């Protein structure tokens, strides 16, 4: 594959919408920054690289992404340090994962210079949209979809890659209540669970709705064969603090390889905390809550960062988790550390922060 990388064309918005946004009250995913980056894959090349005003696309009704689901995405965040510089967190990990998703969905892969060049060009023009209020960040949504107009079921030959951004605050205002799902599944061995493809999220909506109607906020997904092992929670990886160790399901072809998950594992190992990445049964989690050896359960993902859970519902019974809001909790300590790292308040000994210049 070759890349037509002559330049990224910039077309600036006539008027900025930034004054319409209350940066002290940022809902997740509702305010979109002024610009977006777009590129098209045509004739085996990425071409037509542009930063343009955020606007609607015109879509052909036969667009194959709409019919057969060749559609993948990533979630990343940018932060501001005290000098007002824009910092990205592990952007190349998202780039590599996007290409893993692309391969599984039989889509075109992206050259690093298109992904990173587009991302940096966009962030330079919309740098003012990166919030500096505590707990806020600029959520970045890179995504790609098939654009062939053909009704046969076959891999598209053309694709659009786009990146847009939105300033966001916290994802959950209160610790969510989770229900262990033992009827529906998110993914199965040999399937697409490890890929960040749109269908994984579409398929999760109905079981999640049923759980919400029963008074829960989100699901804990179990394995497709026995419903015995924990896989993920909602749209996140899941972690437990038990017996003084961090325990989390090992990744597989049915579990997303979360960048936040990996960061937490590396950070807590550097603190000398034992980490177990293995199969985790729902039974041991329930037993741990009952006998007090499991003190925290939390989700890990780009959108939430670290999200402590308040309760786990299993087979009709609710198991309360200890209150974790205070600063001494393990999940809060991880959250604060990651936040300090990403905003440049502490030295980045991992080499994860990437300054946009
Ligand atoms: C993320 O954490 O970036 C995600 O992908 C979750 C998203 C679906 C809100």
Q: Which residue's C-alpha comes closest to atom 3 of ligand 1? A: 75
Mean pLDDT value across residues 340-349: 95
Instruction: Ligand 1 pocket test: pick from 303, 305, 306, 338 the residue with the most ligand atoms within 8 Å of its Cβ.
Output: 303
CATH 3.30.470.10 residue window(s) in the chain: 9-168
Residues 9-43 pLDDT 10s: 999 999 999 999 999 999 999 999 999 999 999 99
Mean pLDDT value across residues 161-165: 98
Say what the pLDDT of residue 3 is: 38
Mean pLDDT value across residues 179-200: 97
CATH 3.20.10.10 residue window(s) in the chain: 177-342
Say what the pLDDT of residue 325 is: 62
Verify whether ligand 1 is closer than 6 Å to residue 331 (CB atom). no
Say what the pLDDT of residue 327 is: 75
Instruction: Ligand 1 pocket test: pick from 76, 140, 302 the residue with the most ligand atoms within 8 Å of its Cβ.
Output: 302
**Would you state the structure tokens that stand for residue 232, as one six-digit string?**
């993920």
Give backbone dihedrals phi and psi of 316, rounded to 5 degrees, phi first: 85, 0
Residues 207-224 pLDDT 10s: 999 999 999 999 999 999
Say what the pLDDT of residue 112 is: 97
Residue 258 scores a pLDDT above 60: yes
Residues 261-295 pLDDT 10s: 999 999 999 999 999 999 999 999 999 999 999 99
Indicate the pLDDT class of residue 204, thresholds 50, 70 and 90: very high
Indicate the pLDDT class of residue 91, thresholds 50, 70 and 90: very high
**Other CB atoms within 10 Å distance of the CB of residue 112:** 13
Mean pLDDT value across residues 154-175: 94
Verify whether ligand 1 is closer than 6 Å to residue 268 (CB atom). no
**Would you state the structure tokens that stand for residue 291, as one six-digit string?**
């006998």
Q: Which residue's C-alpha comes closest to atom 5 of ligand 1? A: 75
Q: How many CA atoms lie within 13 A of 290 on its CB side?
A: 10
Verify whether ligand 1 is closer than 6 Å to residue 302 (CB atom). yes
Say what the pLDDT of residue 250 is: 98
Using the atom order of ligand 1, give the atom closest to the CA of residue 28: 9
* Whole-number Cα distances in Å, 102 to 57, 74, 86, 141, 262: 21, 11, 28, 15, 21
Closest to 280 (Cα-Cα) out of 292, 266, 265, 297: 297
Using the atom order of ligand 1, give the atom closest to the CA of residue 73: 5
Give backbone dihedrals phi and psi of 116, rounded to 5 degrees, phi first: -75, -40
- % residues pLDDT > 70 (the chain): 98
User: From ligand 1's centre to the CA of 292, what distance in Å?
Assistant: 31
Say what the pLDDT of residue 357 is: 82
User: From ligand 1's centre to the CA of 250, what distance in Å?
Assistant: 19
- Is the Cα torsion angle 97, 101, 106, 112 positive or negative in sign? negative
- pTM, whole model, 2 decimals? 0.95
Domain 177-342 - what CATH class? alpha beta
Mean pLDDT value across residues 335-350: 95
Please give the Cα distance from 246 to 275 (Å, whole number): 5
Q: Answer for the pair 79, 89: CB distance below 8 angstroms, yes or no.
A: yes
Mean pLDDT value across residues 77-81: 96
Using the atom order of ligand 1, give the atom closest to the CA of residue 302: 2
Say what the pLDDT of residue 126 is: 98
Residue 2 scores a pLDDT above 50: no
Q: Answer for the pair 337, 263: CB distance below 8 angstroms, yes or no.
A: no
Residues 108-141 pLDDT 10s: 999 999 999 999 999 999 999 999 988 899 999 9
Instruction: Ligand 1 pocket test: pick from 98, 238, 301 the residue with the most ligand atoms within 8 Å of its Cβ.
Output: 301
Verify whether ligand 1 is closer than 6 Å to residue 301 (CB atom). yes
User: From ligand 1's centre to the CA of 12, what distance in Å?
Assistant: 28
User: From ligand 1's centre to the CA of 260, what distance in Å?
Assistant: 11
Say what the pLDDT of residue 6 is: 54
Question: In the CATH scheme, what is the code of domain 9-168?
Answer: 3.30.470.10
Verify whether ligand 1 is closer than 6 Å to residue 75 (CB atom). yes
């Amino acid at each position: 594959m070759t890349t037509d990388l002559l330049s990224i064309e910039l077309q600036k918005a006539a008027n900025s919408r930034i004054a319409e946004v209350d940066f002290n009250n940022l809902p997740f995913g509702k305010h979109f920054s002024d610009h977006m980056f777009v590129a098209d894959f045509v004739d085996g090349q990425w071409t037509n690289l542009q930063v343009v005003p955020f606007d609607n696309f015109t879509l052909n009704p036969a667009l194959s992404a709409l019919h057969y689901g060749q559609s993948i995405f990533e979630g990343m965040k940018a932060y501001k340090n005290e000098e007002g510089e824009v910092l990205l967190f592990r952007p190349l990990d998202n780039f590599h994962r996007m290409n893993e998703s692309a391969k599984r969905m039989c889509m075109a892969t992206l050259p690093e210079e298109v992904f990173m060049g587009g991302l940096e060009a966009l962030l330079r023009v919309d740098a003012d949209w990166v919030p500096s209020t505590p707990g806020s960040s600029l959520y970045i949504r890179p995504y790609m979809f098939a654009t062939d107009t053909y009704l046969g079921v076959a891999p598209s030959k053309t694709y659009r890659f786009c990146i847009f951004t939105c300033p966001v605050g916290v994802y959950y205002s209160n610790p969510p209540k989770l229900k262990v799902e033992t009827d529906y599944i998110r993914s199965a061995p040999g399937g697409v669970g490890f890929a960040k493809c749109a269908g994984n999220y579409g398929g999760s909506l109905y079981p999640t709705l049923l759980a919400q109607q029963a008074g829960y906020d989100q699901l804990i997904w179990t394995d497709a064969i026995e419903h015995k092992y924990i896989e993920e929670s909602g749209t996140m990886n899941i972690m437990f603090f038990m017996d003084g160790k961090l325990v989390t399901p090992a990744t597989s072809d049915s579990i997303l390889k979360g960048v936040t998950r990996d960061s937490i594992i590396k950070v807590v190992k550097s603190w000398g905390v034992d980490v177990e990445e293995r199969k985790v049964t729902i039974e041991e989690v329930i037993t741990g809550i009952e006998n007090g050896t499991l003190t925290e359960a939390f989700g890990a993902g780009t959108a939430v960062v670290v999200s402590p859970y308040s309760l786990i519902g299993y087979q009709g019974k609710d198991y309360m988790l200890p209150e974790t809001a205070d600063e001494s909790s393990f999940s809060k300590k991880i959250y604060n550390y990651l936040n300090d790292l990403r905003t440049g308040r502490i030295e980045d000994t991992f080499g994860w922060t990437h300054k946009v210049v």
